[in-house]
Amino acid sequence: MQPELQRELVRRVLAHLERRTTDRDAGPTLLPVDAYLPDDARARREARLFRELPLAVAHVSQLPNPGDFLAHDATGVPLLIVRGEGGELAAFINVCRHRGTRVEQLPCGNKKAFVCPYHAWAYRRDGSLLSIPHEHGFEGIDRASRGLARVPCGEAGGIVFARPAPLSDGESPVLDAAAWLGPIAGELAGFGVGTGAAYAPTTKRKQLSWKLAIDIFLESYHLRPTHRDSIYPMFFDNVATVDRVGAHLRCLFPKRSIASLAAQPEDTWELRRHANVLYHLFPNTLLLVEPDHTAVLHLWPDGAAGTLLTAYTVVPEAPATDKARAYWDANNRILYDATDEDFAMGESIQRGLASGANREVVFGAFEHALAHFHRQIDEHAPA
User: Are residues 229 and 368 located together in one domain of the fold?
Assistant: yes
SS (H, E, C) the chain: CCHHHHHHHHHHHHHHHHHCCCCCCCCCEEEEHHHHCCCHHHHHHHHCHHHHCCEEEEEHHHCCCCCEEEEECCCCCCEEEEECCCCCEEEEECECCCCCCECCCCCEEECCEEECCCCCCEEECCCCEEECCCHHHHCCCCHHHHCCCEECEEEECCEEEECCCCCCCCCCCECCHHHHHCHHHHHHHHCCHHHCEEEEEEEEEECCCHHHHHHCCCCCCCHHHHCCCCCHHHECCCCCEEEEECCEEEEEEEEHHHHHHHHCCHHHCCHHHHEEEEEEECCCEEEEECCCCEEEEEEEECCCCCEEEEEEEEECCCCCCHHHHHHHHHHHHHHHHHHHHHHHHHHHHHHHHCCCCCCEEEECHHHHHHHHHHHHHHHHCCC
pLDDT reading at 211 higher than 90:
yes
Residue 206's pLDDT is what?
Answer: 98
User: Are residues 142 and 249 located together in one domain of the fold?
Assistant: no
Q: What is the mean pLDDT of residues 31-57?
A: 96
Compute the distance between CA of residue 302 and CA of residue 85 in angstroms, rounded to an integer: 35
Residue 327's pLDDT is what?
Answer: 98
Evaluate the CA torsion angle 147, 151, 152, 157 in order and state its sign: negative
pLDDT reading at 216 higher than 90:
yes
pLDDT tens, position by position, 243-301:
999 999 999 999 999 999 999 999 999 999 999 999 999 999 999 999 999 999 999 99
User: Are residues 19 and 66 located together in one domain of the fold?
Assistant: no
Residue 383's pLDDT is what?
Answer: 84
User: Are residues 245 and 106 located together in one domain of the fold?
Assistant: no
User: Are residues 165 and 194 located together in one domain of the fold?
Assistant: no
User: Are residues 164 and 232 located together in one domain of the fold?
Assistant: no
User: Are residues 44 and 67 located together in one domain of the fold?
Assistant: no
| Residue 324 domain flag | yes
Residue 286's pLDDT is what?
Answer: 98
End-of-domain residue from the set 138, 155, 174: 174
| Residue 318 domain flag | yes
Compute the distance between CA of residue 178 and CA of residue 156 in angstroms, rounded to an integer: 5
Residue 37's pLDDT is what?
Answer: 96
265: left (phi over 0), alpha (psi -120 to 50) or beta: beta
Residue-averaged pLDDT of the chain: 97
User: Are residues 343 and 221 located together in one domain of the fold?
Assistant: yes
370: left (phi over 0), alpha (psi -120 to 50) or beta: alpha
| Residue 179 domain flag | no
User: Are residues 270 and 373 located together in one domain of the fold?
Assistant: yes
User: Are residues 160 and 197 located together in one domain of the fold?
Assistant: no
Residue 278's pLDDT is what?
Answer: 98
| Residue 72 domain flag | yes
- Residue 304 binned pLDDT confidence (cut-offs 50, 70, 90): confident
User: Are residues 63 and 109 located together in one domain of the fold?
Assistant: yes
| Residue 10 domain flag | yes
| Residue 193 domain flag | yes
- Give the list of residues 6+ apart from residue 222 with CB closer than 8 angstroms, or none: 216, 342, 345
pLDDT tens, position by position, 127-141:
999 999 999 999 999
pLDDT reading at 1 higher than 90:
no
Residue 38's pLDDT is what?
Answer: 93
245: CATH: 3.90.380.10
End-of-domain residue from the set 133, 152, 174: 174
End-of-domain residue from the set 106, 141, 174: 174
Say what the pTM is.
Answer: 0.96
User: Are residues 269 and 322 located together in one domain of the fold?
Assistant: yes
| Residue 228 domain flag | yes
pLDDT tens, position by position, 336-378:
999 999 999 999 999 999 899 999 999 999 999 999 999 999 9
pLDDT tens, position by position, 218-240:
999 999 999 999 999 999 999 99
Domain membership of residue 361 as a residue range? 3-49+184-380
Please give the tally of structural domains in the chain: 2
Residue 112's pLDDT is what?
Answer: 96
Closest CA to 108 of 74, 153, 147, 69: 69
| Residue 225 domain flag | yes
Indicate the residue type of 268.
Answer: T
pLDDT tens, position by position, 162-177:
999 999 988 999 999 9
106: CATH: 2.102.10.10
pLDDT tens, position by position, 95-117:
999 999 999 999 999 999 999 99
Residue 227's pLDDT is what?
Answer: 98
